[in-house]
Chains A and B, each alone.
Chain A
Amino acid sequence: MITFIELLVNGISIGAVYALIALGFVVIFKATEVVNFAHASLLLVGGFIIAKTHESVGFWPALLLGLAGAAVLGALIEFLVIRRANVVNHSVLAIVTIGVDIVLTTELTRQIGTEVLALGDPWGSQVLHLGAVNIPLARIAALLAASAVIAAFLLAFKYTNWGVAMRATAEDAETAALMGVRRGRVSMGAWAVAGALAALAALFMCIFPTPGLDRTVTATAMKAFPAAILGGLDSTTGALAGGLIIGVTESLVSGYQGELVFLGRGLGDVAPFLVMIIVLLIRPAGLFGTRELARV
């Protein structure tokens, strides 16, 4: 039972982090109809900036730099690549983002090399003891920070002019334009927000129990893809649900790996994709989505 609670809390915590990534993914899709395969490299850039600057400027300023850096990079990708690529087919743009991803990831993994970079977070490997339940402080920080940011995001999405403009554009870009909404600004804003969310996710993916930022972080970030897709690529609620489902599944499956050994090793890594496939077989548009991914 205690193991179960620990695994569950860990799962929710990592799930909230996946939700941050998935949310950015969904926001970009809603604003521009582009499936952003460069999302993992935005995350890598954010983490890299934090890792490289925290020793000289301190952790919190480094975190801000990481968030800002990834946001600016997202906006730049939108401005220089997505907006210029004069194609009407969104599948082509998705392929363009794969190109961007390859360029960024190759360069950064070359810089990182075989190192494991610490991010200088204040939580370290401290563990919170609640009776017999032990939970790392880093996981609690992840859960709280991700929840707060997601809540703030959803409130902004619902109540600010930015959110109204985003939703109007997502629903009908031409009519939103007739309201005077500038689509370029909306999509650039979406990419910037997605970048910042990814950078925050990078932080919580690279601190305890993970030893630090290394070249494999993009592979871990890929697990947020099934989160976004199974939730429904055009649904913010779906991104949350998807993130939590993937996080909890992964945590429980890994935790009980011993009992599930007949299914083979490394099941925790495969489980997210299995869950996604099962959900899509039942609901092709995802749990909360309205659009099927057939055309991507």
Chain B
Amino acid sequence: MNVHDPGPPGDSGLTVRDLAVSYGPVTALRGISLEVPRGSVVTVLGGNGAGKSTLLRAISGTLRFHRGGITAGEIGFGRARLSGAATSAVVAHGVVQVPEGRKIFARMTVEENLRAGALGARDRRSASESRERVLTLFPVLAERARQRAGLLSGGEQQMLAIGRALMARPKLLLLDEPTLGLAPMMAARIADTVREINAQGTTVLLVEQNAALALSLASHAYVLEVGEVVLSGPAAELAESDEVRRRYLGIGDDRDEAPLAGAAPARPALSRWSA
């Protein structure tokens, strides 16, 4: 498999080098390396328990909430070192995560959730500008501004979670399984939004189990299995590779059991690999 060619020097993307993470005695990541060049969409694929969320927690500095920690390796973003930094510092560097399961503040209103998203923004004056951008992207959030966020549908909650993260004006957006539990139509909408956000200049690291959808969005992909990168390469090449097609796209050996689906951008939401 192709080894990803790191971007030109000085390219201020995300660099993860030999990262190892443990939760007490449980080792979740065993020395993984990856690059997310500036302006790109990169995806990390893998089944349940592969270590995808752990990777994002390590980047955001929230492992301590799970009694985990980085045991080796480095995470850098541009010239900044993220490994060892406080979560607030990571956000201040422009690296913002949309956590798995949306994690909206259910007891607060939609508007207040967006406001919470701007709390760590580097520039508070731009909050109204960010809000406008978010509401243009997700008009439904404007309609429901005064509702309790807990009353939104799953898809709307995901939009709110993404919108809330955008309030901090991220340079790099980390998305943890944004289509989890969503109907195919809604998943396709989220995918379109991710494309749009990227087109507006935000770099995206997308963690997914929905391989077909993720490969249709990303330029580069990594496949994670039990805490190790087992495959990586340009997304289009991975989508064509026999192993990925068989194991993650449900095409090939077990063609009969899994729904047929292509990784072509035209039909991104048709297949969903699940563990």
Contacts and interface: CB of A to CB of B under 8 A. Distances in A.
Interface in A145-177: 161, 164-165, 167-168, 171-177
A173 B99 CA distance: 13
B15 interface: no
Contacts of B96: 178
A179 B65 contact: no
A258 B168 CA distance: 63
Contacts, number: 67
Interface in A22-57: none
A27 B17 CA distance: 42
Interface residues of B, number: 27
Contacts of A167: 105, 107-108, 112
Contacts of A174: 62, 65, 99, 103
Question: Looking at chain A's contact residues, is the secondary structure mostly helix, strand, loop, or mixed?
Answer: helix
B105 A168 contact: yes
B119 A179 contact: yes
Given A164-B112, A171-B108, A173-B65, A179 B103 contact: no
Interface residues of A, number: 18
Contacts of A173: 65
A212 B46 CA distance: 68
B116 A182 contact: no
Nearest to B103: A175
Interface in A234-285: none
B115 A164 contact: yes
Interface string B90-122: 011000110100010111100010011101110
B87 interface: yes
A25 to B, nearest CB: 20
Contacts of B52: none
B164 interface: yes
B120 A181 contact: yes
A181 B62 CA distance: 12
B5 to A, nearest CB: 31
B230 interface: no
A168 B65 contact: no
A178 B108 contact: no
B99 A180 contact: no
B199 interface: no
Interface string B195-238: 00000000000000000000000000000000000000000000
Contacts of B97: 178
Contacts of A165: 116, 119
Interface of B: 60, 62, 65, 67, 86-88, 91-92, 96-97, 99, 103, 105-108, 112, 115-117, 119-121, 164-165, 168
29 contacts: A161-B119, A164-B108, A164-B119, A165-B119, A168-B105, A171-B105, A171-B106, A171-B107, A174-B62, A174-B99, A174-B103, A175-B103, A177-B62, A177-B65, A177-B87, A178-B62, A178-B87, A178-B91, A178-B96, A178-B99, A179-B116, A179-B117, A179-B164, A180-B87, A180-B88, A180-B91, A180-B119, A180-B121, A182-B86
Interface of A: 88, 161, 164-165, 167-168, 171-182
Given A177-B62, A181-B120, A182-B86, 8 more contacts: A164-B119, A165-B116, A179-B116, A179-B119, A179-B120, A180-B92, A180-B168, A182-B88
